[in-house]
Amino acid sequence: MKPPIVLLAPLHGPTQRELESLYDVHPLYSAADPAGLLAQLAPRCDIAVTAGARGMEAAIMKQLPQLKLVACFGVGVDAVDVAHAHAHGIAVTNTPDVLTEDVADLALALLLGAVRRIPQGDRFVREGHWLKGGMSLTRSLQGNRVGIIGLGRIGAAIASRCAAFNTELAYFGPRRKTDSPYRYFDDIVSMAQWADVMIAACPGGEATRGIVSRAALSALGPEGLFVNISRGSVVDQPAMIELLAGGQLGAAALDVFDREPQVPQALMVLDNVVLHPHQGSATHPTRAAMGRLVLDNVAAYVAGRPLVTPV
């Protein structure tokens, strides 16, 4: 008999099909009676699989008393109640490393896209404005000071890319990295005053909620650019929109939003922002590698082997 798994969110197609071929998968997200499904699974289901954006709250864990593993498709587990899980002997796994390079690539795509106004240029040509005269000059990335919020795996991969563009680098984080060649700021507003560009690459969750504050964005200023490939929660989104609309913040390039996929209309109408629908890791090879890691973690648990990537 295949081991039962409760699935909290749809996964990358090939991953989900392989999971379904190996296990008895019960999708909670499409269940007609979710409470009934949980009650039915409660006596025997010890594995949950979810996606980073969905996570798993304590309330659902409590309904599955046999639960021993929450395998998360994604590196950010801010939507999983890890503290509750660990306090109750439930392991959590994520999919680190395999998505680092693609997320860093997307950060640079957004950074360059905002600096050189790539979506705006595409609209300019398609709407026929070029026939009436050239597009305005833009800023240059050359010689810019780039401040990275969170010099973890993804932040470091962003920094090494930025270095190829003749930029000056610094980072903000909870502690100085002794092995980093970049300037360290222990205060985000000070880094924003120094920087031309700030890129958020830190984890989400309560520890980083709102750290890109109104004061930080104001310090970045009318010529400043804010790039976010982390989580919408790290920035004071209403303040950001107000400053962008009023010209007190120069531009923004955003892959993530508060309460996505909702994007406020006030943000949608701005010409000085590049918007992207949370695609940091959304490439075919990376999603396949993330899926492989989810499957490997589940297989390791079922076989009684050590988990591959526990949180």
Site for a second copy (CB under 8 A): which residue of 180, 260, 292, 296?
Answer: 260
Site for a second copy (CB under 8 A): which residue of 65, 138, 259, 310?
Answer: 138
Q: Specify the residue for token string 């999919």.
A: 95
241 contacts: CB under 8 Å, gap ≥ 6: 264, 266, 267, 270
Which amino acid, one-letter code, is at 185? Answer: F
Site string for a second copy, 44-83 (x = CB under 8 A): ----------------------------------------
Site for a second copy (CB under 8 A): which residue of 283, 292, 296, 302?
Answer: 283
Looking at 153, 183, 260, 292, which residue is catalytic? 260
Angstrom distance (rounded) from CA 109 to CA 102: 10
Which range binds a second copy by CB under 8 A, 87-95, 130-138, 210-218, 244-252?
A: 130-138
By CB under 8 A, the count of residues binding a second copy is 54
In whole angstroms, the minimum distance from the beta carbon of 12 to a second copy comes to 8
Angstrom distance (rounded) from CA 82 to CA 19: 23
Find, among 186, 182, 187, 157, the residue nearest to 170 by Cα: 182
Counting Cβ atoms within 10 Å, is residue 117 exposed (0-12), middle (13-18) or buried (19+)?
buried
Q: Which is nearer to a second copy, 37 or 108 (CB)?
A: 108
Find, among 175, 170, 177, 231, the residue nearest to 200 by Cα: 231
Tokens standing for residue 240: 């950001």
Which range binds a second copy by CB under 8 A, 28-36, 70-78, 79-87, 102-110?
A: 102-110
126 makes contact with a second copy (CB under 8 A):
yes
Q: Which of residues 184-243 bind a second copy (CB under 8 A)?
A: none
Check if 145 is active-site.
no
Counting Cβ atoms within 10 Å, is residue 282 exposed (0-12), middle (13-18) or buried (19+)?
middle
287 makes contact with a second copy (CB under 8 A):
yes
Site for a second copy (CB under 8 A): which residue of 112, 189, 307, 311?
Answer: 112
DSSP bridge pairs for 80: 56
- The torsion angle over the Cα atoms of residues 144, 145, 146 and 152, rounded to 10 degrees, is 140
Looking at the annotation, which residues are catalytic? 231, 260, 278
State the residues that interact with a second copy by CB under 8 A.
12, 101-102, 105-106, 108-110, 112-113, 115-119, 121-126, 130-131, 134-135, 137-142, 160-161, 163-166, 260-263, 268, 274-279, 282-287
